[in-house]
Amino acid sequence: MEEDPVNLREFQELAKRKLPKMSYDYISGGAEDQFTLRENVEAFQRIMLRPRILVDVSKIDTSSTLLGHKMSSPILVAPTGSQQLAHPDGELATARAAAACNTIQVLSFASDYTLEEVASSCDAVRFFQLYVFKGRDVAAAVVQRAERNGYKAIVLTADTPRLGRREADIKNKLIIPMNRNVEGLMSVDIHTTGGSGLEAFASKTLDPSLSWKDIEWLKSITRLPIIVKGVLTAEDAIKAVEVGVSGIIVSNHGARQLDYTPATITVLEEVVKAVSGSVPVLLDGGVRRGTDVFKALALGAKAVMIGRPVVYGLAAKGEDGVKRVITMLQKELELTMALAGCPTLKDITRNHVMVPHQKPRSLL
């Protein structure tokens, strides 16, 4: 009988056994030395909790809202491309699992099912993640389709003017399916003479000239709120608020872009302070435990997103695997809140965590 993972790490192990090496390496890997990949997880492990005792925790409420949308917990599904590498049902399975768990899926621009197919798969609140390609007409057409199909926000990924150097993908000569959302809008020759097929595609399509002034353009083509993903500094957080975004995601793209950026949890507080409550701040990168979610909330995040764990759940057990990953994390958060003396999310404060002097262990 197939084993039943009891935590998110065991889902990763199961996914590793089930997936071809090329797919597993693409999903699990990070950029270059993968220093930040390790840091994203380890920085959470350096933060300790300060639980309060003798609080009535007979009822725990994990429910939350984001931009006015209700969620059963502050845990969202991060955008991850090409989910058919993990399972044939890909983003459709993820959409149904997220809906069943009452949470928001951020659909990747690079999804293997089109945004229309995902929208008609089930009824749910979902957001759409945008990459801006050279020649803005493709992005404009896709954003308008997302709006027409009921997506409730645009998540602009801003940390990928070019693709980070992912050495496993280069060695494996990664083959990536053609982006379905741009079918009929553009044609790109993705044949390579070697190396990563994703890198070949990205270098032909991504627009490295995208800049802050383009938020104005994005606002001119959609009425949807814009959330910027990839903020790591107070300076950029302030800029994002100035140009009128509706939300910020502290993210280093799961350590797949610029290596030696800090773990996201170590810069969260800086960003939260810089925006002083004007817009919600989310975080992704390395969230693997309910205690991690709790720590991020204590440091000011409105919610967190999980990337790889969802894809591992999908690879391990399809739609049911994704459901179990999300539910597992929600239940761990609920238990953490009970054991820390926080019956509601509002009860989680900065005083519930002890943050060490932020120096990566390997630099001490």
Ligand X SMILES: CC(C)CC(=O)C(=O)O
Ligand Y SMILES: Cc1cc2nc3c(=O)[nH]c(=O)nc-3n(C[C@H](O)[C@H](O)[C@H](O)COP(=O)(O)O)c2cc1C
Interface residue with ligand X among 95, 202, 311, 326 (CB under 6 A) is: 202
Consult the annotation and say whether 285 binds a ligand: yes
Query: In degrees rounded to 5, what are phi and psi of residue 6?
Result: -105, -5
> Among this protein's residues, is 253 annotated catalytic?
yes
Residue 256 binds ligand X, judged by CB under 6 A: yes
Residue 18 vs residues 85, 227, 306, 312, 316: alpha-carbon distances, Å:
11, 35, 21, 10, 7
Interface residue with ligand Y among 27, 146, 163, 283 (CB under 6 A) is: 27
| Residues within window 106-125 making contact with ligand Y, judged by CB under 6 A | 108-110
Structure tokens at 212: 């802050």
Consult the annotation and say whether 112 binds a ligand: no
Interface residue with ligand Y among 78, 132, 279, 316 (CB under 6 A) is: 78
Residue 253 binds ligand Y, judged by CB under 6 A: yes
Helix (H, G, I), strand (E, B) or coil at 304: strand
Consult the annotation and say whether 308 binds a ligand: yes
Alpha-carbon distance of 174 to 286, in angstroms, equals 24
Nearest to 279 by CA among 295, 300, 306, 263: 300
Interface residue with ligand Y among 164, 225, 247, 286 (CB under 6 A) is: 286
Indicate the helix (H) or strand (E) that contains 249: strand 247-250
Consult the annotation and say whether 307 binds a ligand: yes
Q: Residue 202's binding partner, choosing from ligand X, ligand Y, none, with beta-carbon cut-off 5 to 8 A by kind?
A: ligand X
| Residues within window 185-224 making contact with ligand Y, judged by CB under 6 A | none
Cβ closest to ligand Y, residue 190 vs residue 339 = 190
Alpha-carbon distance of 269 to 174, in angstroms, equals 37
Alpha-carbon distance of 45 to 48, in angstroms, equals 8
User: For residue 249, what are the β-bridge partners?
Assistant: 229, 282
Neighbours of 345 (CB within 10 A): 21
Residue 81 binds ligand X, judged by CB under 6 A: yes
Residue 300 binds ligand Y, judged by CB under 6 A: no
Residue 129 binds ligand Y, judged by CB under 6 A: yes
Nearest to 27 by CA among 35, 36, 18, 16: 16
Residue stretches of the annotated binding site: 26, 79-81, 108, 129, 131, 157, 166, 229, 251, 253, 256, 284-288, 307-308
**Interface positions with ligand Y (CB under 6 A):** 27, 40, 78-81, 108-110, 129, 157, 229, 251, 253-254, 256, 284-287, 306-308, 311
Residue stretches of the annotated binding site for glyoxylate: 26, 131, 166, 253, 256
